[in-house]
Amino acid sequence: MNYGFDGKVALVTGASGGIGRATAVAFAASGAAVVVSDVNEAGGLETVALIEAAGGKAVFQHCDVANADQVKALVARAVSEYGRLDFAHNNAGINSMGANEYEDDVWARSLSINLSGVMYCMREQAEVMLKQGKGAIVNTASINGLVGNAGQPAYVATKHGVVGLTRHGALRWAKAGIRVNAVCPGVIETPMTAPLAANPDMRKIMDNLTPMGRMGRAEEIAGAVLWLCSDQASFVTGHPLVVDGGATAT
């Protein structure tokens, strides 16, 4: 769906592939200029190339969201390049599947990227949007930000934290014209889940985790992000939108 974002500017973190790439491409297809960000420069530049090949506008900015100075530079790049910032999708994150998240280094890394990174991004983005009097921020949480998971304490804790930050931002900036929401994906087919899904037996298990009997597609999450940023969601803020094929309905 084309939301008519001509003249608008969107920023997407974690946009070298998966959900971030799908969202960046979708923003561009709806007319927005896009700032593509990731620590993976090759993947980020590929996302830019995909957007430009389809006639859209995009630039790449390397950014480790766990580094507050790099986040500040990222948002400054959006303003210097395009003069404003209308939409932000704070999507960068890690899932330490197979790792012991009780280990100090894994725990610390998860918090720095998944939680502190979202806070740094929201803080800088809101500063620009406050001057404009309008803006929309969408954070990528997870269904594990709403329900428990016995195997991933850091992932569950950080994604619950993202939902909390989202509600905080929605309340803090509600009267300033800035809406803050989150998407909570279920099991999605992305480069992050690809190693597991490559095993036929594991793929069957992952497909069966949802009542719909399949993994979700990155484009389905992108569609939710764009809707949350659009004027069609003008009265929606502080909401964790679940996109999970019915997994949390069970």
For 204, residues 6+ apart whose C-beta sits below 8 A from its C-beta are: none
**Token pair belonging to 236:** 């929606």
The yes-or-no answer on residue 155 being catalytic is yes
Number of residues assigned to the chain: 250
Task: Give yes or no for a contact between 90 and 121, defined as CB atoms under 8 angstroms apart.
Answer: yes
Q: Exactly one of 3, 82, 120, 155 is catalytic; which is it?
A: 155
Supply 77's token pair.
Answer: 């790049």
Helices (H), the chain: 18-29, 41-53, 68-82, 104-110, 117-132, 153-173, 194-197, 200-207, 218-229
Total Cβ atoms within 10 A of residue 68: 16
Buried b (16+ CB within 10 A) or exposed e, 123-159: ebbbebbeeeeebbbbbbbbbbbbeeeeebbbbbbbb
Residues designated catalytic: 155
